[in-house]
Each structure stands twice: as structure tokens, then as C-alpha cells.
Amino acid sequence: MRCPFCGNTETQVKDSRPAEDHVAIRRRRSCPACGGRFTTYERVQLRDLVVVKKNGRREDFDRDKLARSIRIALQKRPIEPDRIEQMISGIVRRLESMGDTDIPSDTIGEIVMEALSRIDTVAYVRFASVYKNFQEVTDFEDFVSELRPQSQPQDS
């Protein structure tokens, strides 16, 4: 596992223990090159999920991407990291058990909002406001292109 701080690939496992009621293994790792410490989680992946965007585009479901958006919403909120991981795993498990491997991005957003609303109101509002903004444009690409300045007219 590559060190996220210095990129060294020879990191060491210092400690392994079950986490999230034995659905994951939590490993404490350290990097002999820079002394950095980080944690990884090992989990069962039941099915390969595909996210279907509003415009019909498909991409592989990425747990880390989902986790990142949830952690951003929960930034500086008094929620235990283990509880957050547990919530993320719960969301993934729900998605995996939906019967179809193709999941509309809307469905994921709704499930995340529902889960956040139960754990922390502030995080829920944060996530919902970002999510709703994305809903108003048809797609993330449109959102990004709206941020980009229009091509400048040449000096005349």
C-alpha cells in the first residue's frame, strides 16, 4: 500500500483489528521512509455496481468517492470516525442489495441524505445544499462548464 504522504510503496502494517462489528479489518500502517501514519480498511465487495448519471452516462461505483463526499459533509462534526465508516458501509450494503447493479445517481443521493439526516442535521443540510445545486444542472460536466469563463473575444 503506497504511502499517501510520500508515495513510498513499502509501508508496514502496525496493527490489524476487526472494525464495524467485524465487517471490516482496520489496519494501522506506517511509512518507514517519512514516518507517516495512516489507516486502511479491508471489506467484502459483494457486487460491482455501476452508477447511471442523469444524462445516461455510466461509471463504476467508487466507494472512496462516496466516502469523500460524506466526510466533507461531516467535517468538524462531533461524529466518531468509526461511526462514519459504519454509515458508509451501510449505504454501500443497501446499494448492493437493491437487486440491480445499475444504480441511478439520484438514488444514491437520496440514500446518502436519508442516512445523514439520521446521524447529523448540520451534515445533512450541507450535503443536501450541494446535492440540490447539482440537481439543477443536468450533469456535473454542465456544472463545471458553467464555472469556466466563456471563451474571451479576441482583442480588436
* 73, 123 Cβ separation under 8 angstroms: yes
- The least distance separating Zn ion from the CB of residue 33, rounded to whole angstroms, comes to 5
Which residues in the 35-54 window bind Zn ion by CB under 5 A?
A: 36
Q: Quick check: 31 binds Zn ion (CB under 5 A)?
A: yes
CA distance 41 to 16: 9
- The least distance separating Zn ion from the CB of residue 40, rounded to whole angstroms, comes to 14
Q: Quick check: 135 binds Zn ion (CB under 5 A)?
A: no
- The least distance separating Zn ion from the CB of residue 39, rounded to whole angstroms, comes to 14
3-state secondary structure of 102: strand
CA distances (Å), origin 116, targets 15, 83, 84, 152: 30, 12, 10, 42
Q: Quick check: 23 binds Zn ion (CB under 5 A)?
A: no
Interface residues with Zn ion (CB under 5 A)?
3, 5-6, 8, 31, 33-34, 36
